[in-house]
Structure 1
Amino acid sequence: MLTNKQKRFLRGEAHHIKPIFQVGKAGVNENLVKQVAEALEARELIKVSILQNCDEDREDVALRVAKGAKAEVVQVIGKTIIFYKESKENKKIELP
Structure 2
Amino acid sequence: MLTGKQKRFLRSEAHHLQPVFQIGKSGLTDAVIAQIEEALEAKELIKVNILQNCDEDKNEIAAKLEAREGLEIVQVIGNMLVLYKESKEKKRIELP
Give the secondary structure class of the aligned counterpart of 2:67. Answer: helix
Q: What is the identity percentage for the equivalent residue pairs of Structure 1 and Structure 2?
A: 59
Separation in 2, partners of 1:7, 1:68: 18
SS of the residue 1:49 aligns to: strand
1:64 is aligned to 64
Q: Does the aligned pair in 2 maintain the 1:33–1:68 contact within 8 Å? A: no
Distance (whole Å) between structure 2 residues aligned to residue 35 and residue 69 of structure 1: 15
TM-score by length of 2: 0.96
Residues 44-55 of structure 1 mapped to structure 2, 5 A cutoff: 44-55=44-55
After superposition, the CA RMSD in angstroms is 1.0
The number of residues matched between the two structures is: 96
| Whole-Å separation in 2 of the counterparts to 1:69 and 1:49 | 21
**Equivalent residues of 1:37, 1:69 under 8 A apart:** no
Mapping for residues 7-86 of structure 1, pairs under 5 Å: 7-68=7-68, 70-86=70-86
Q: Distance in 1 between matches of 2:18 and 2:57?
A: 21
1:36-67 residue CA offsets vs partner (Å, 9 max, x unmatched): 00000000000000001001110111111232
Q: Is the 8 A contact 2:70 2:86 kept in 1?
A: no
Residue 70 and residue 27 in structure 1: after superposition, are their counterparts in 2 closer, same or farther (change >3 A)?
farther
Local SS of the residue matching 2:75: strand
Q: Gaps (5+ residues) in structure 1?
A: none
Displacement over 3 Å in runs of 4+: none
Gaps of 5+ in 2: none
Look up the SS of the partner of 1:36 in the other structure: helix
